[in-house]
A = this chain, B = another copy of it.
Amino acid sequence: MVSSRDVAKYAGVSQPTVSRVLNNPSKVSQPIVDNVRKAMKDLNYRPNNIARSLVSNRTKTIALVSGPLHNPFFVDTTTAIVNYAASKGYYTTVHFENHYDNMSIYETVLSQQVDGIVLSSIFINDPIFDELKESGKPFVMFNRRHETGGHFVELDNHQAGVIGAEHLVSLGHKAIAWIGGTTEASTFLGRLEGFRDKLKNNGIQLNKDFILQTDTTEKDIHRAIQQLFLRRNKPTAIFAATDSIAIFVIDCLLKMGFSIPEEISICSVDNLGISAHESLQLTSIGHNSNKSMGLIAIQNLIKIIENQRKLEDEQQITLEPELYLRQTTSAIKP
């Protein structure tokens, strides 16, 4: 391993001068700059980022705590976050949510040395919020939020639920099932409540058996759907809390022999790119911002890290949803 001292010796200067050539060449006379640069090349010198971080107290890395990539939503956000961070000179270490033990992930992240954290994996009243706050490290939430506030970017989930209910009711559906994940998450809670509220507005009571909570894995969704159709009363439509869930539901229903939308309508929330695929043509509800939530989150985080925005000046962004009508919903047969 060649160090700045080795370069210094080779170039006949002191180590601080090498450091200056690296970070502040204008403070060094031109001939010496050239000389040191040549030494660096000759010795194939690469500065040690670890040593740099130790003194500067900045690591140029951010941690991403993301939902699982089997949900295409997180595919898009991860791509946006990693690439934007890279364009700003930041490394991104990624951690995928562990449904049963997120705490150990945060433990890892907090003892890691990062300049900031972007995260989606948080519950509405998650105790991790206070720990993050206490750590003093800037963090921004995307997709989900915490009851306390902080920096976040989210969809108006309640409104998304309302739009979904509205749409399906307007097509004549009355027996509608809701399928999603844990209501400890602001996304699922909001989408469920908006949906339920709007149904109630229309004089429809959301049957408890029609509320399906899963862990959002393919396996659990198949289980839930199969169980749903064992019941005497069957739904004519399904409102899935995310496109990812809808995609699994569709696979399951098709395998069971249903035709969509003739026998069952499905719509969901997120409006991912894949929903527009001709093989799917999924009716979905999403925002129309040209920036993904992940991108907005990482942009804000980096602004905070670089002191272009004050930490206390909380950015709380709620995007407005709208309906993207495609082929998986249709009017109920008379």
Query: Which residues from chain B contact A250 at a C-beta distance below 8 Å?
Result: 278-279
Query: Which residues from chain B contact A53 at a C-beta distance below 8 Å?
Result: 50
Residue A69 lies at the interface, judged by CB distance under 8 Å to chain B: yes
Residue A83 lies at the interface, judged by CB distance under 8 Å to chain B: yes
Residue A75 lies at the interface, judged by CB distance under 8 Å to chain B: yes
Q: By the criterion CB–CB under 8 Å, are A95 and B113 in contact?
A: no
Residue A94 lies at the interface, judged by CB distance under 8 Å to chain B: yes
Residue A251 lies at the interface, judged by CB distance under 8 Å to chain B: yes
Q: A94-B94, A278-B255 are known contacts. Are A110 and B59 too (CB-CB below 8 A)?
A: no
Question: Could you tell me which residues of chain A, from 246 to 277, have a CB within 8 Å of some CB in chain B?
Answer: 247, 250-251, 254-255, 277
Q: Return A265 CB to nearest CB of chain B, in Å.
A: 16
Residue A221 lies at the interface, judged by CB distance under 8 Å to chain B: no
Residue A236 lies at the interface, judged by CB distance under 8 Å to chain B: no
Q: Return A237 CB to nearest CB of chain B, in Å.
A: 18
Q: Which of A44, A91, A280 has the most CB of B within 10 A?
A: A91
Q: By the criterion CB–CB under 8 Å, are B113 and A49 in contact?
A: yes
Residue A288 lies at the interface, judged by CB distance under 8 Å to chain B: no
CA distance A113 to B91 in the complex (A): 11
Query: Which residues from chain B contact A278 at a C-beta distance below 8 Å?
Result: 250-251, 254-255
CB-nearest residue of chain B to A75: B69
Q: Return A43 CB to nearest CB of chain B, in Å.
A: 13
* Copies of this protein, total: 2
Residue A78 lies at the interface, judged by CB distance under 8 Å to chain B: yes
Residue A202 lies at the interface, judged by CB distance under 8 Å to chain B: no
Residue A86 lies at the interface, judged by CB distance under 8 Å to chain B: yes
Q: By the criterion CB–CB under 8 Å, are A96 and B75 in contact?
A: no
CA distance A180 to B51 in the complex (A): 44
Residue A217 lies at the interface, judged by CB distance under 8 Å to chain B: no
Query: Which residues from chain B contact A93 at a C-beta distance below 8 Å?
Result: 61, 91-94
Residue A182 lies at the interface, judged by CB distance under 8 Å to chain B: no
Q: Return A52 CB to nearest CB of chain B, in Å.
A: 9
Q: By the criterion CB–CB under 8 Å, are A247 and B277 in contact?
A: yes
Q: By the criterion CB–CB under 8 Å, are A111 and B49 in contact?
A: yes
Q: By the criterion CB–CB under 8 Å, are B68 and A86 in contact?
A: no
CB-nearest residue of chain B to A256: B278
Query: Which residues from chain B contact A68 at a C-beta distance below 8 Å?
Result: 79
Residue A112 lies at the interface, judged by CB distance under 8 Å to chain B: yes
Q: Return A225 CB to nearest CB of chain B, in Å.
A: 13
CB-nearest residue of chain B to A104: B86
CA distance A178 to B159 in the complex (A): 46
What are 29 residue pairs bridging A and B, where the CB atoms are less than 8 Å apart in the complex?
A44-B134, A48-B54, A48-B113, A49-B111, A49-B112, A49-B113, A50-B54, A51-B54, A54-B54, A61-B93, A69-B69, A69-B78, A69-B79, A75-B75, A82-B95, A83-B96, A86-B95, A91-B93, A91-B112, A92-B93, A92-B94, A93-B93, A93-B94, A94-B94, A247-B277, A250-B278, A251-B278, A254-B279, A279-B280
